[in-house]
Amino acid sequence: MNNVGQRLARLREQKGLSQAALGKLVGTTNKYINDLEHGRPGGIAILAKIVAMLDVPLDEVYRKDKKGDETMEKQTLIEINGCVETDLGHDQWLDEFIDWLESRGEYFGGGTKDITDEQE
């Protein structure tokens, strides 16, 4: 089990949820949750749903170790990049993730900002 998986398991247990219950809440299986908790990479969209359901910020799961080691940060970037490339194309993934973020606006500060007009 890696640090990220350990943190996910601890946070899930603190909420009193089984792997099956959390899986059902975020639209996946208990096997998928088990795989994440044992260090296997997962889709960032599901990870975002999990941290929202557990009511913790994403950096709570992917924070650096107390030693200030940057390996966790690098591992996180590798996992996220791998998820984007294997699950969906970059553009499709970004579109789906943005849609999901907008639907969770209250969790992410109450709204979103459209920057497309500013770039013209």
State pLDDT tens for residues 31-66.
Answer: 999 998 888 877 777 888 888 888 888 777 766 545
Tell me if 118 is assigned to some domain: no
How many Cα atoms occupy the beta-carbon half-sphere of 6 within 13 Å? Answer: 6
Query: To which residue do tokens 């997962």 refer?
Result: 42
Tell me if 109 is assigned to some domain: no
Alpha carbons 102 and 61: distance in angstroms, whole number = 21
Q: Which residues of the chain have pLDDT under 50?
A: 65, 67-69, 84-86, 106-113, 115, 117-120
Tell me if 110 is assigned to some domain: no
Print the domain residue range for 68.
3-103
Tell me if 115 is assigned to some domain: no
